Amino acid sequence: MGVVIRLGRISYVNMAPVFHRLMHEVEEISGVPTELNRMLLAGEIDIAPISSIEYARNATRLRLLPRLCVSSEGAVDSIQLVTRMPLGRVRSVAVTPESATSVVLTRVLIPRAELLPLEAAADADAKLLIGDAALKSAFEDPTPHYDLGRLWLERTGLPMVFAVWAAPEPVVDGLLQLQEALVASVRLARSEPERLAYEASERYGYPPGFLARYFEKLRYSFGPRERAGFYTFLEMARDVGELAQVPELRFLQDEEVPVA
């Protein structure tokens, strides 16, 4: 009997398709993205979706799963800039402490804006929300919301990769088998969208129809377009001073035909 893999799970509803019917024995450890980033780099978990920018900052210590990411091509719904001002006039943004990638993406898209802690939202021109807080706000708050996935697509014409699945070196055994189980779970979730939406609704509290539309916007396959978008984001992060250099992507195994 092998060692049970410690698998990180982002605590947001965006993970529902990946864990829909995961047929693999794991120890599931849940947290917001920045918590998982820290735990992964500390060796407290064996594999997890990690913020794209944090992977890049620590790439020499990590290996990537070649078939999985968390991305969107256009609007993603769960990363929202909320402001009553036109975007061109925004000079300060109160940002969530939960996601490193979204904060850097804000800097890339609105380079002149000062980034403030979220508790300073009352004094900022805009606030950045991610995950379930962003979904809830878009659902309930009539203030204009700017979807960072859509803004990114308008700027680059490419998907935005928010998270990649990474493992600290030395990697534990069995990760490629786990990857196959995760991909199979996504495939099954895609094949039964109503069941996915209803089960996620029971767990997270959003209406099933709302979740069904949200899941349609998410992508989990780390294909050629996603990799191009990932590199583009890292280059732009470097250009605004958020990354020293763009790393080489080092995969657990070189598979060029992702399916998810």
* Residues forming a β-bridge with 95: 117
Report residue 260's pLDDT band, with 50, 70 and 90 as the boundaries: very low
**What pLDDT does residue 96 have?**
84
Residue 144, judged by CB atoms within 10 A of its CB (0-12, 13-18, 19+), counts as middle
> Count of residues for the chain?
260
Distance between CA 78 and CA 75 in Å, rounded? 9
**What pLDDT does residue 253 have?**
74
**What pLDDT does residue 259 have?**
43
Mean pLDDT to the nearest integer, 135-143: 89
> pLDDT tens for residues 160-192?
999 999 999 999 999 999 999 999 999 999 999
Question: In three state form, how does the secondary structure of 166-231 look?
Answer: EEECCCCCCHHHHHHHHHHHHHHHHHCHHHHHHHHHHHHCCCHHHHHHHHHHEEEECCHHHHHHHH
**What pLDDT does residue 256 have?**
38
Report residue 138's pLDDT band, with 50, 70 and 90 as the boundaries: confident
CA 95 to chain centre: 16
Q: Please report the domains of the chain, with CATH numbers, ordered by start residue.
A: 5-71+160-239 (3.40.190.10), 79-156 (3.40.190.10)
**What pLDDT does residue 254 have?**
46
> pLDDT tens for residues 236-254?
999 999 999 999 999 997 4
ω before 170 within 30° of 0 (cis)? Answer: yes
Query: Is 90 exceeded by the pLDDT of residue 135?
Result: no
Mean pLDDT to the nearest integer, 106-115: 95
Distance between CA 70 and CA 254 in Å, rounded? 19
Report residue 13's pLDDT band, with 50, 70 and 90 as the boundaries: very high
Mean pLDDT to the nearest integer, 215-233: 97
* Residues forming a β-bridge with 6: 27
Query: Is 90 exceeded by the pLDDT of residue 100?
Result: no
Query: Is 80 exceeded by the pLDDT of residue 2?
Result: no
Contact 35, 41 (CB under 8 A): no
Query: CB under 8 Å, gap of 24 or more: what pairs does 118-123 form?
Result: 118/94, 119/94, 120/94, 121/94, 123/92, 123/94
Mean pLDDT to the nearest integer, 19-27: 96
* Nearest to 17, CA basis, from 203, 222, 215: 215
